[in-house]
Structure 1
Amino acid sequence: MTRALKVADREKTAERLLNSSADKFYDPEVDIDWSAPLVEGLRYTPEHRCSLYGTELWDRMTPEQRIDLSRHEVASVASVGLWFEILLMQMLLKEVYRSDPTTKHAQYALTEVADECRHSTMFARMVERIGCPPYGPRRHVYHLGKLLPVIGYGPALYGSILVAEEILDRMQRETMADESVQPLVRMVNRIHVLEEARHVRFAREEVVRGMATITKKELPYQRWLIATTSMFITRSIINPEVYAAVGLDRDEAHKAALGNPKWHETIQWSGERIMKFLDEQGLVGKPGMRAWRRSFLLG
């Protein structure tokens, strides 16, 4: 395919996504009833998706502690999601800075930034509404994250975006259909899932185009970058401070979660689709295999 055809194809995709964005979008400020009371006795995430589910520590917890852990874990996931979406916005704006703003591609990137601004505000409001701290990633990961918009480029950049988005997407799709979960959490998840589908399409096509032009010399760096970023994403989803918040020993619980086969299964399940795609595109391989295994995305 010639460069002109590739550009034309990219523009067609961007135009379709722009039309879809104009046709269907949500404003969490008005589409969510933030004043509605939380429902006593309902969980905040499906029980089997809690990081300690299936451990001896979980068996010793009271039903109230388990619900409270789900509350703090959903706050951790949301605040880590917010952190990564802010990094994503920086990366997209960096792309726009180098682009012709009159192209549909650049205009859709700006539209996605607008979506992510609303999503970040929505996640922040949910964390505040359920009465949890904005955990975010651990401090060293937070500082390392500042490097990603600087060192990230090419298919690994968009692939890293996909790992974060698609892991969260699969978890949220399950949660929004679970009537045992708080209505507020389900509505936040529903809005994010519906709008994130466009972002996933955009990023997937960028990965395919990028891999078609990447050189053999660049490929090891691309594989290392996406594997390392993915490892930090999956291992940051649950901040260890959530365990202390529900009366558990933080270090003991964190160790139990990291060694929990059920939690490993949850991460692997949430990343099935994106890992298959990345493998097909050639982004899963040496020198990133150790990081992929540490991410729990590979068995």
Structure 2
Amino acid sequence: MTSRDGAPKLGGNAAADAPTERQDVARRLLDSSETLSYDPVREVDWETPLDTAYHGASPEWSTLYGTGYWADMTPEQQRELTRQEAASVASTGIWFEMILQQMMLRDFYAKDPTDPAFQWALTEIADECRHSIMFARGAAKLRAPAYRPSRVTIELGRAFKTIAFGEAAYAAILVAEEVLDVMQRDWMRDERVVPFVRTVNNIHVVEESRHMRFAREEARARMKGAGRLRKQINAVVVAAASYVIVRSMVSKQVYANAGLDADRAIREAKANEHHKSLLRSGCSGLMEFLDSAGLLTKASAWFYKRANLI
């Protein structure tokens, strides 16, 4: 099945020049999923009460780390802030994983169920369902409220999941997963982070690595043979979606909920060069991939710069 411009749709037949390669990737991912997957209900320690002597995330990833406000905070305030920030990132992850699930279900609707890619899509959706429940329980255990994107962001997400297909859908999925992966790889190894959060991060990193592999393969395949106009349009769509996702990860409400002066915190976080540098360095590989796939253009770079990804 093809899109209106003649390009193969996400979830349809493989790219015309390499159908076997696409199926082989899906088969390998299915095999990996059977070999190494986790059940968060059993793997995560949900019973032990929260130990507030721990951070919720590596402090270096806090939006205030390196600022004057961070230096003025007590260790208790610093730990509470990282717990609220970790809960906000988890909540944003749930929001985008729900978008991801809807896009994949729509794009694989009524396709060949014997295709390994079809079976992998259902496996990935099942993973994302477990991850969302895991993130929700984790945020609650961190004693955080429900952090939701702004109403405008929610409606933009609703529009994106309705109209995005092909490389635009998969590249946006990849950006969201890669940014979260960069953070969580640090958090899961950091003994300053509360143990149950480290377990949550480890589960997500292991299972999302397969999702990112599939997203890269699909985005690259969809871009083969794409015309200049299509590349330019999709590059901007992906970049705009990425900007919204990244800017939504840490809610402004975390500062008040951590007992801080919200106005000062928001002002200093916005100007925090340390946090911006972490994002740029962590996402350098992602930007290289988007460039190689034809999805990093002059127009799209404007959004990535605004999101501090380049």
1:70 to 67, 74, 82: 82
Q: Confirm or deny that 1:184 pairs with 2:196.
A: yes
- SS state of the match for residue 120, structure 2? helix
Instruction: Using the TM superposition, give the Cα deviation of residue 190 of structure 1 relative to its aligned residue in structure 2, in angstroms.
Output: 0.5
Q: How many residues align?
A: 297
Q: Confirm or deny that 1:50 pairs with 2:62.
A: yes
Question: Are the aligned partners of 2:52 and 2:79 in contact in 1 as well (CA < 8 Å)?
Answer: no
- SS state of the match for residue 228, structure 2? coil
Question: Are the aligned partners of 2:15 and 2:221 in contact in 1 as well (CA < 8 Å)?
Answer: no
2:238 to 226, 233, 242: 226
Gaps of 5+ in 1: none
Q: Confirm or deny that 1:193 pairs with 2:193.
A: no
Q: CA–CA distance in 2 between the matches of 1:93 and 1:111?
A: 11
**Partner letter of residue 203 of structure 2?**
I
Over aligned residue pairs, what C-alpha RMSD do you find? 1.5
Distance 1:197 1:3, change over 3 A: closer
Q: CA–CA distance in 1 between the matches of 2:52 and 2:146?
A: 22
Distance 1:5 1:283, change over 3 A: closer
Q: CA–CA distance in 1 between the matches of 2:248 and 2:267?
A: 14
Question: Are the aligned partners of 1:234 and 1:267 in contact in 2 as well (CA < 8 Å)?
Answer: no
Once the two structures are superposed, the pairs formed by residues 1-299 of structure 1 within 5 Å of their partners are 5-97=17-109, 99-298=111-310
Question: Are the aligned partners of 1:164 and 1:233 in contact in 2 as well (CA < 8 Å)?
Answer: yes
Q: What TM-score do the two structures reach when normalised by structure 2?
A: 0.92
**Partner letter of residue 274 of structure 2?**
K
Instruction: Using the TM superposition, give the Cα deviation of residue 4 of structure 1 relative to its aligned residue in structure 2, in angstroms.
Output: 5.3
Instruction: Using the TM superposition, give the Cα deviation of residue 98 of structure 1 relative to its aligned residue in structure 2, in angstroms.
Output: 5.3
Deviations 1:43-83 (A, max 9, x none): 11111110011111212211111110001000000000111
Q: CA–CA distance in 2 between the matches of 1:85 and 1:278?
A: 21
Instruction: Using the TM superposition, give the Cα deviation of residue 39 of structure 1 relative to its aligned residue in structure 2, in angstroms.
Output: 2.6
**Partner letter of residue 258 of structure 2?**
V
Question: Are the aligned partners of 2:279 and 2:308 in contact in 1 as well (CA < 8 Å)?
Answer: yes
In structure 1, the residue matched to 2:8 is: none
Deviates more, 1:104-113 or 1:34-43: 34-43
Q: CA–CA distance in 1 between the matches of 2:72 and 2:36?
A: 46
Question: Are the aligned partners of 1:228 and 1:288 in contact in 2 as well (CA < 8 Å)?
Answer: yes
**Partner letter of residue 123 of structure 1?**
F
Question: Are the aligned partners of 1:41 and 1:67 in contact in 2 as well (CA < 8 Å)?
Answer: yes
Identity over aligned pairs, percent = 43
Question: Are the aligned partners of 1:137 and 1:236 in contact in 2 as well (CA < 8 Å)?
Answer: yes
**Partner letter of residue 113 of structure 1?**
I
Deviates more, 1:141-150 or 1:182-191: 141-150
Instruction: Using the TM superposition, give the Cα deviation of residue 138 of structure 1 relative to its aligned residue in structure 2, in angstroms.
Output: 2.4
Q: CA–CA distance in 2 between the matches of 1:44 and 1:51?
A: 13
Gaps of 5+ in 2: 1-13
